[in-house]
Structure 1
C-alpha cells in the first residue's frame, strides 16, 4: 500500500510540481490543501502517513497544521524560502527543504522521515 501524503501549498504550480515529484517516487497524494483550514479538515477526514508543508500560506503560518500533525504523531517536511531561525521554534526538528527545492532533496527527506517513523513505531529508533 502506497504511503499517503498530504501536500499543503498555496501556489498551484508549485503544488502541481510537488504532486508530480511525490507520485513519481511511488507515493500517493491524498489531497493538496491550499490553506490552514483546508489542511486541518483533510487531516480530520483522511488518514495520512506524512505531510509536506509550505511554511507560509498566503501570509499565514503553517504552525497550526504542524501542531496538529505533531499531536497526531504524523511526520512532516517543511518547504520554505526562510531559514530555520527565521521560521521560529514551531518547526521543531522537522526537516526543512529550501525553496526552490530539488525534487531529489524532497524525496530524500520524505524517505528519511518514513524510515525514522517506521523505526520509532517498531521501538528500534535511535532518537
Structure 2
C-alpha cells in the first residue's frame, strides 16, 4: 500500500515544510490544501492512508475534515501550537497526536509511522 498523506494547512511556508519532510520519507502528498472545502473535495476523490491537520484554517476550524476522516476510519494527527487542540476544534480532536507547530521532522515522521501501525 502506498503511503499517502493529506496535508491541510493554511500557512503556505508551514505547508511546504511539512511536504518537504514527508516527501523525503517516501510519502505521496494529497494537497496541501488550505480550506475545509478543498480538503473535503480531495477526500471525495481519494482517501489517504493518514492525514495531518492544522486546527485553525484562517477563519474556519478543521473540525468538519476531522469528522469526515474519523467517519472514513482514516487516522489523523494535528500540527498545532495548542496544548489541547480539542478545546478549539472540538471533541473529534481529543486524544489525537499533536506534532506541534513548528513540527520537527523526527516527531512528524514518528507520528505518521504510529498512525499507520494503529
- State how far apart, in whole Å, the 1-side matches of 2:47 and 2:100 are: 27
In structure 1, what is the equivalent of residue 19 of structure 2? 19
Unaligned 5+ residue runs, structure 1?
117-127
Given that 1:5 and 1:30 are in contact with CA atoms closer than 8 Å, whether structure 2 keeps it comes out as yes
In structure 1, what is the equivalent of residue 104 of structure 2? 102
Given that 1:2 and 1:26 are in contact with CA atoms closer than 8 Å, whether structure 2 keeps it comes out as no
In structure 1, what is the equivalent of residue 87 of structure 2? 86
Of the two, which has the highest radius of gyration? 1
In structure 2, what is the equivalent of residue 124 of structure 1? none
Deviations 1:76-107 (A, max 9, x none): 01111111163342302211121122111011
Given that 2:4 and 2:28 are in contact with CA atoms closer than 8 Å, whether structure 1 keeps it comes out as yes
Superposition RMSD on alpha carbons, in Å?
Answer: 1.3
The alignment of Structure 1 onto Structure 2 pairs a total of residues equal to 116
- State how far apart, in whole Å, the 1-side matches of 2:29 and 2:18 are: 10
Given that 1:8 and 1:35 are in contact with CA atoms closer than 8 Å, whether structure 2 keeps it comes out as yes
In structure 2, what is the equivalent of residue 31 of structure 1? 31
